[in-house]
Chains A and B, each alone.
Chain A
Amino acid sequence: MVSKGWLQGVALVMIFGFAVMGFLAMMTYTDSMPQPKQVIDKQGAVVFTGAEITAGQQIFVQRGLQEFGSIVGHGGYLGPDYTADYLRRSSTFVLDALTASGIQDPHGALVTMMRTNRYEPATGSLIFTDLQISAFEAVKKHYADFFGTPTTQNGLIPKMITDPAEIHELTAFFAWTSWGAAAERPGHNYSYTNNWPAEKLVDNGPTADIIVWSGLSLVSLMVALGALFALYGRWSKRMGWQHGEETPPLSFRQPGDVAVTPAQSATAWFFFVVALMFLAQAFLGAAVEHYRVDLTSFFGIDLAQLLPINLARTWHVQLSLLWTAASFLAAGIFLAPYISGHEPKRQHWLAYILLGALALVVAGSLAGEALSIFGVSAAKDSPFWGMQWEYIDLPKFWQGLLTVGLFLWIAIIYRGIRARLKSEHRFNLPWLFFYSGLAIPAFYAVGMLAGSEVTLSVAEFWRFWVVHLWVEDFLELFTTVMVAYIFVMLGVVHRRIAMQIILLDVILYSAGGILGTMHHLYFSGTPVEHMALGAFFSALEVIPLTFLTVEAWSFLQLGARQQSRSAAPFPHRWSVMFLVAVGFWNFLGAGVFGFLINLPIVSYYEIGTALTANHAHASMMGVYGMMGVGLSLFALRYLIPANRWPDRLAKISFWSLNVGLAWMTFATLLPLGVLQLWHSVNDGYFEARSMNFITGTGNTVLEWLRMPGDLVFIFGGVVPFVWIAWLGVRYRIKGTTQDVPMEALFVETQLVGSTVARGTDAITDVSSGPGYGTGYGSRAGERDGDTRPDGGM
């Protein structure tokens, strides 16, 4: 069906990408910011130990402080970045002391003190000067006051951390990252974090590498774009996108005419759970947003007593991943019978077990996160209740259970399509569906390597395998395969073209996406190679997004084949419109807003600001959220009886979600991000991340301006979707058969006798099919989209 060149291209990109990633993984372990065994004074007395740094890191992670503020730029946006915060406070303390001592050049002395690397690899000891130790004690007092405050003035629970030992450990962790941010790497004139954060007190400014690799990544983008469009102009006709084939007329099988299997019927419950999680996530997002305009009161209620900002954000972020992923899993289960034409007995039992496991993981992990944040003693270092790094916040046990659940899901899929796989070549569409599905649990499992006790740089490396590689690359791939397959099943895209789109997608996304993972690790204490490769390759991530936009999402060739006389309209209007929205947000949210913060020199000043949140919302909701809703509506269209299908609600939901999201980004996130970036460059990163700036009057107006969009999003977009999902449960068509048409949600018809245009004589016309083979291992001469003998009419 497709030439071997495509497969070789995929293999080449994958092998190259993961070989380099292996090399970078090795460097992460050997050349990252070292965690000392002990920090000592000049006399050898221990100030704090490596174990205390790790303990402090675990407190930071388990008490949800990464969902409030950030460390090395990664985390929440409301609180300070603790690396920058400690660096500023300790540097100010030392500078004041040096100035008071009357030395000639206090700033020069401060720079020398902070940038001199006194780490001894042989002993694992790091030596602090007396002033650095005094600064440590002073800053420790500040954190004791900050985290021990009896009020909810910071959006955190009262008296959050009062144990002096815990404050000591937490400060030790901040002090260590701050040391790595200023102390120069051996043999280099920049710090372990590539001189991040920008801090004039210690002469932290952009390095030559940051500027050069920013320029080179721009050049790589332009060259690659030029090359792609040149190739596209040369080959696009051959690839078949713009072939405009002569096609036989189609009649789409109408909802109600398409029998559903028991497992497909079971997915109605999945979609209802997905919708409820989406609703909860949206309300939590509104709460998080409200903290930014009024930190101490939610319309008169002291919300932080029950739902502190870090818990609200933890749940908001977790649910965003869980509901979108769950919708993809459910859509996969729904599609499996259409792929094989048959559903094994008791497949629906497995589906219900998976749903139960999902519900258990969601409830268990959210409960664990709450216990962990509230500081319940049972949660401390507990695999069941102790939360972990941002985005993979689930406690270890639930993370493991979710991984097992994902493997169970792919086992369900395999069981469902096993018969079909046996008769297909290993690179045909059913196998691509299986491979892309298998990548989901496989790459999610990598997150297990990023425990809360793992050294920061190493944890960051593996964490972003999940955040970037799993989400941005392999979920993207799986959804592309699903969408392509859906359109093949609907008969509106030829199998060969679908496969070409999928393989091109793999090549383009993976070429930039695999090594592009490193754009998250510019300042995480990893070697400069991570930044160089991350900048260079992640610039290429814009290409597929641009390409697909120029291509106008080639799948949209619907209607061109809708020429049947059987009065059977296309049943998936709003699913397709959600896919149109995915294309739009892919370009704007992932492409434009993503590239806006991708260059190292921009990231250097903006990391952890509202521009990051802008990209996150526009791409996560805009791409995966819209995709999740679109896939849900596709399945629900067959599960809800035709006379109960609420087309108007689907329309309202579509427009409200999109208008609400556009408002969210343009009203608040983008302008606030630009202002914060300007403030960061002009006044300093510490100032731009301070609460004084974030909750300042001007910003508060911006935040309030977002409210209309949020209300439209929630009540016009999410609530109708919940209702549609409820209808899917309430009136779902029961599964009555184990056999369904294989890949045929349409019927090809012959056009007989049509009227000549312009009122002339009637002409009988019989269309001629394209006559494509179905590819490897399929029956010769069979046309794409042929209704199989076992596919009922």
Chain B
Amino acid sequence: MEQVNPDVWFALGYGSFLLLVAHVLDVLARRTAAATTSARSGGFEYHEGHDAWTCSEDQWLWPISFDPDNRVTRYRAAPTVCNPCPVKDDCTPSHAGREIVRNIDSWPSSEAERFHRGIACSVVVLAVVWPIAVMFQGRTGLELVILSAASALIAGCSWRLWSHLRRAPARFPDHLAALGLEENEQQKAAISATELARRSGYGSIRKTGPRAVPEKEVR
């Protein structure tokens, strides 16, 4: 039996360790994203099958509106349930029932998850490269077989991580149009012109023009 250099075993061990680290980061990515979403929803639980939430007191909040421009759904509990609730003071000042929103695009937790998964994949690349790098140190045939098998095995075990990264979009809401200063000014001017062009019902105003509104009042 040929002797195998300890460096080979170290490469094998460290490559496996990095693979483990990458998987841990991947799991943490999912958990962190879930924790952020949960924190943002005040610990309420979303039930996808019902498209509804349950609060800490096990009461349901049902969908009431959807804003298609910003892809936000709003949910509300019945006021008859919320108003006598013992934890109402800690929950909502509203007498119309507790309300909660759900972003269809869960940025930034979605992109944070993608970031963590990206780091996990960069670590796993290193795990694959490591045994390959050690192969260039004048290894014996047996050592080359061990190292190449290790590299291939690690690459195979990392497949899930790449799949997770591919299925973790950033979901940054860039569908909203960002307007620059000039565009904003033009838009404001157009709105202003439209308002001014609108015929007022008061003859005095038609004769003298609209009253100049102090800037503070506009605000």
Instruction: Tell whether B177 is near chain A: CB-to-CB under 8 Å.
Output: yes
| Closest chain A residue to B180, Cβ basis | A642
Task: Tell me if A584 and B115 are in contact (CB < 8 A).
Answer: yes
- The 8 Å CB contact of A698, one of B7, B21, B32, B111, is B7
Assembly CA distance A564 to B41 (angstroms): 19
Stretch at the interface among A145-153, A282-290, A391-399, A575-583: A575-583
| Closest chain B residue to A585, Cβ basis | B119
Task: Tell me if A577 and B111 are in contact (CB < 8 A).
Answer: yes
Q: Which A residues, 216 to 260, have Cβ-Cβ distances below 8 Å to chain B?
A: 237-238, 241-247, 254-257
Instruction: Tell whether B147 is near chain A: CB-to-CB under 8 Å.
Output: no
Instruction: Tell whether A549 is near chain B: CB-to-CB under 8 Å.
Output: yes
Contacts of A698 in B (CB 8 A): 7
| Mask: chain B, 21-46; 1 = CB below 8 Å from A; 0 = not | 10000000000110110111111100
Contacts of A241 in B (CB 8 A): 39
**Interface residue range, chain B:** 35 or more
Instruction: Tell whether A751 is near chain B: CB-to-CB under 8 Å.
Output: yes
| Mask: chain A, 541-579; 1 = CB below 8 Å from B; 0 = not | 000000001111110111110111101111101001100
Instruction: Tell whether B100 is near chain A: CB-to-CB under 8 Å.
Output: yes
Q: Given A565-B70, A569-B178, check contact A793 B218 (CB 8 Å).
A: yes
Q: Given A244-B44, A257-B181, A758-B63, check contact A701 B133 (CB 8 Å).
A: yes
Q: Which B residues, 137 to 167, have Cβ-Cβ distances below 8 Å to chain A?
A: 137
- The 8 Å CB contact of A254, one of B65, B119, B137, B184, is B184
Contacts of A755 in B (CB 8 A): 65-68
Instruction: Tell whether A757 is near chain B: CB-to-CB under 8 Å.
Output: yes
Task: Tell me if A556 and B94 are in contact (CB < 8 A).
Answer: no
Q: Given A556-B112, A562-B70, A563-B72, check contact A662 B119 (CB 8 Å).
A: yes
Instruction: Tell whether A663 is near chain B: CB-to-CB under 8 Å.
Output: yes
| Mask: chain A, 763-786; 1 = CB below 8 Å from B; 0 = not | 101011011000000000000000
Assembly CA distance A642 to B184 (angstroms): 11
Assembly CA distance A573 to B107 (angstroms): 9
Contacts of B51 in A (CB 8 A): 757-758
**Interface residue range, chain A:** 35 or more
Task: Tell me if A765 and B44 are in contact (CB < 8 A).
Answer: no
Task: Tell me if A642 and B178 are in contact (CB < 8 A).
Answer: yes
Contacts of A682 in B (CB 8 A): none
Give the shortest distance, in Å, between A633 (CB) and chain B (any CB): 14
Contacts of B65 in A (CB 8 A): 754-757, 763, 765
Assembly CA distance A241 to B43 (angstroms): 10
Contacts of A671 in B (CB 8 A): 14
- The 8 Å CB contact of A584, one of B21, B119, B184, is B119
Instruction: Tell whether A97 is near chain B: CB-to-CB under 8 Å.
Output: no
Q: Which B residues, 105 to 155, have Cβ-Cβ distances below 8 Å to chain A?
A: 105-109, 111-112, 115-116, 118-119, 122-123, 126, 129-130, 133-134, 137
Q: Which B residues, 62 to 114, have Cβ-Cβ distances below 8 Å to chain A?
A: 63-70, 72-74, 90, 92-94, 96, 98-101, 103, 105-109, 111-112
Instruction: Tell whether B174 is near chain A: CB-to-CB under 8 Å.
Output: yes
Task: Tell me if B118 and A659 are in contact (CB < 8 A).
Answer: yes
Assembly CA distance A671 to B18 (angstroms): 10
Instruction: Tell whether A789 is near chain B: CB-to-CB under 8 Å.
Output: yes
Instruction: Tell whether B213 is near chain A: CB-to-CB under 8 Å.
Output: no
Give the shortest distance, in Å, between B96 (CB) and chain A (any CB): 7
Instruction: Tell whether A787 is near chain B: CB-to-CB under 8 Å.
Output: yes
Assembly CA distance A601 to B101 (angstroms): 51
Assembly CA distance A549 to B33 (angstroms): 11
Give the shortest distance, in Å, between A244 (CB) and chain B (any CB): 2
Q: Given A244-B41, A246-B100, A765-B65, check contact A552 B119 (CB 8 Å).
A: no
26 residue pairs of the A-B complex, CB under 8 angstroms, read A237-B42, A237-B43, A237-B90, A247-B101, A254-B181, A257-B181, A549-B32, A552-B35, A552-B36, A552-B39, A559-B105, A563-B67, A563-B101, A568-B178, A573-B172, A584-B115, A642-B179, A666-B123, A701-B137, A751-B67, A756-B66, A758-B63, A763-B65, A768-B99, A789-B216, A793-B218
B interface residues, Cβ below 8 angstroms from A: 7, 10, 14, 18, 21, 32-33, 35-36, 38-44, 51, 63-70, 72-74, 90, 92-94, 96, 98-101, 103, 105-109, 111-112, 115-116, 118-119, 122-123, 126, 129-130, 133-134, 137, 172-174, 176-182, 184, 216, 218-219
9 closest A-B pairs by CB: A244-B42, A256-B181, A757-B66, A569-B176, A642-B180, A552-B36, A754-B65, A757-B63, A659-B122
Known: A245-B42, A554-B39. 20 other contacts (CB 8 A): A237-B43, A244-B41, A254-B180, A256-B184, A552-B32, A559-B106, A562-B103, A567-B177, A570-B173, A571-B178, A577-B112, A580-B115, A655-B118, A666-B126, A757-B73, A763-B65, A765-B64, A765-B65, A768-B99, A789-B219
